[in-house]
């Protein structure tokens, strides 16, 4: 998502300069930024947000705003090996907040998730809902969000936290449900659905998320929290069936696999506060999914490279094939 945001911002604000700090973990990919890598107002620093030295390198010439997209993000990986999540999501956020304080930045935005609130049976979480994280990923993000709040309260650092529903769109790493299922089907393989596939998620297309963060940058208030949600709530099975249908496959492609431990049944956020700043989603879930499918169809070399490498090992470990 970070690379989508950088391209979106540079296309719309020719007079802004962007410094991109990324450790390039398995999920990072500079190919996503090829088209802008030579732009005079873009620079890249390879580094870890949990290293004060690396952060200093990125902030060296002074920055006005920090938007923290960097994180370990995959729930399954957090169940297998939580340590990287604590290091990056909690300690990395602390390191960035501390640097933001030293450099007196004008705005710090933390890109967080609806998963910090846990699961909700009916209705939707608002910005005051208590945190009840259920996976090591969600707990790490919640820890980081608490630090953000504390840095605003204690040091008056102008911090804003956003809690978003699930992203989808071009360039998404293949372990997430939508790109995994699209690319599996493009390779004529099956798609692994957890449990009965009845978990409900709210979905936002990349461009709408970029717009939401831009709105928060321009109109959000320091110390505030904004939920980013669309109301496009679907079960995993509904998403799966839509992808199957678009690609001309039947339900025999579904392989029901053992459910994830502690799997949250439903996430939903109330985004009225953000809508009050003038933002609303522009791309429906079906249109967004069609655009995403088309992107993966047209960019086979991008995802084939990933599937032939490290991802394959992980996939084998997860699904045994
Ligand atoms: N994917 C979703 O549906 C979703 C929903 C809500 C919120 N979020 C949040 O949005 C942000 C982006 O999510 P994504 O799905 O694009 O993530 P991703 O896993 O696809 O990419 C994460 C990026 O962070 C970089 N990174 C990881 N550890 C780092 C470190 N220690 N230092 C510097 N860079 C590091 C990786 O190299 C990669 O470029 C995350 O903070 C995530 O918690 C994601």
pLDDT tens digit sequence for 68-95: 999 999 999 999 999 999 999 999 999 9
Question: How far from 131 is each of 63, 233, 274, 300, CA to CA, in Å?
Answer: 31, 21, 19, 39
pLDDT tens digit sequence for 113-122: 999 999 999 9
In the structure, what pLDDT confidence band is assigned to residue 64 with cuts at 50, 70 and 90? Answer: very high
In the structure, what pLDDT confidence band is assigned to residue 311 with cuts at 50, 70 and 90? Answer: low
User: Which residue, 111, 177, 187, 100, is CA-closest to 144?
Assistant: 111
Give the whole-angstrom CA distance, residue 207 versus residue 302.
20
More confident residue, 101 or 265: 101
Would you state the pLDDT for residue 193? 95
User: CB–CB of 212/164 below 8 Å?
Assistant: yes
Percent of the chain residues past pLDDT 70, beyond the cut: 96
pLDDT tens digit sequence for 121-158: 999 999 999 999 999 999 999 999 999 999 999 999 99
What is the distance in A from the centroid of ligand 1 to the CA of 184? Answer: 22
86 lines ligand 1 (CB under 6 A): no
User: CB–CB of 274/228 below 8 Å?
Assistant: yes
50 lines ligand 1 (CB under 6 A): yes
Question: Which DSSP string corresponds to 182-205?
Answer: HHHHHTT--EEEETTS--EEEEEE
Q: Which residues are catalytic?
A: 114-115, 137
Give the whole-angstrom CA distance, residue 163 versus residue 113.
4
User: CB–CB of 71/22 below 8 Å?
Assistant: no
Tokens of 7: 């391209």
306 lines ligand 1 (CB under 6 A): no
User: CB–CB of 13/221 below 8 Å?
Assistant: no
Look at strands 233-235 and 200-205 and give their pairing: antiparallel
Would you state the pLDDT for residue 305? 86
pLDDT tens digit sequence for 243-282: 999 999 999 999 999 988 888 889 999 999 999 999 999 9
Query: What mean pLDDT, rounded, does the chain reach?
Result: 94
| Partner residues linked to 203 by β-bridges | 166
80: left (phi over 0), alpha (psi -120 to 50) or beta: alpha
Would you state the pLDDT for residue 179? 96
Would you state the pLDDT for residue 321? 47
């Amino acid at each position: 998502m970070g690379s989508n945001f950088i391209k979106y911002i540079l296309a719309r604000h020719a007079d802004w300069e962007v410094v991109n700090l990324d450790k390039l973990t398995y999920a990072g990919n500079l190919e996503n930024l090829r088209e802008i890598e030579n732009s005079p107002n873009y620079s890249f620093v390879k580094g870890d947000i949990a290293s004060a030295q690396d952060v200093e390198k990125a902030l060296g010439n002074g920055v006005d705003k920090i938007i923290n997209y960097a994180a370990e993000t995959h729930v399954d990986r957090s169940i297998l090996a939580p340590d990287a999540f604590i290091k990056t999501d909690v300690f990395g956020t602390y390191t960035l907040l501390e640097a933001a304080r030293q450099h007196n930045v004008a705005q710090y935005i933390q890109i967080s998730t609806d998963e910090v609130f846990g699961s909700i049976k009916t209705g939707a979480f608002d910005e005051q809902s208590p945190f009840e994280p259920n996976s090591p990923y969600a707990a790490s993000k919640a820890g980081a969000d608490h630090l953000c709040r504390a840095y605003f309260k204690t040091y008056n650092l102008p911090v804003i936290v956003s809690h978003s529903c699930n992203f989808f769109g071009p360039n998404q790493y293949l372990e997430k449900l939508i790109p995994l299922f699209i690319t599996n089907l493009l390779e004529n393989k099956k798609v692994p659905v957890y449990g009965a596939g009845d978990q409900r998620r709210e979905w936002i297309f990349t461009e709408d998320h970029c717009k939401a963060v831009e709105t928060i940058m321009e109109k959000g208030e320091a110390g505030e929290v904004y939920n980013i949600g669309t109301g496009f709530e679907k079960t995993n099975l509904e998403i799966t069936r839509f992808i199957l249908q678009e690609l001309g496959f039947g339900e025999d492609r579904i392989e029901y696999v053992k459910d994830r431990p502690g799997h949250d049944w439903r996430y939903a956020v109330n985004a009225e506060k953000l809508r009050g700043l003038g933002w609303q989603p522009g791309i429906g879930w079906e249109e967004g999914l069609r655009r995403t499918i088309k992107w993966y169809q047209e960019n086979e070399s991008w995802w084939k490279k990933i599937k032939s490498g490290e991802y394959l090992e992980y996939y084998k470990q997860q699904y045994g094939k």
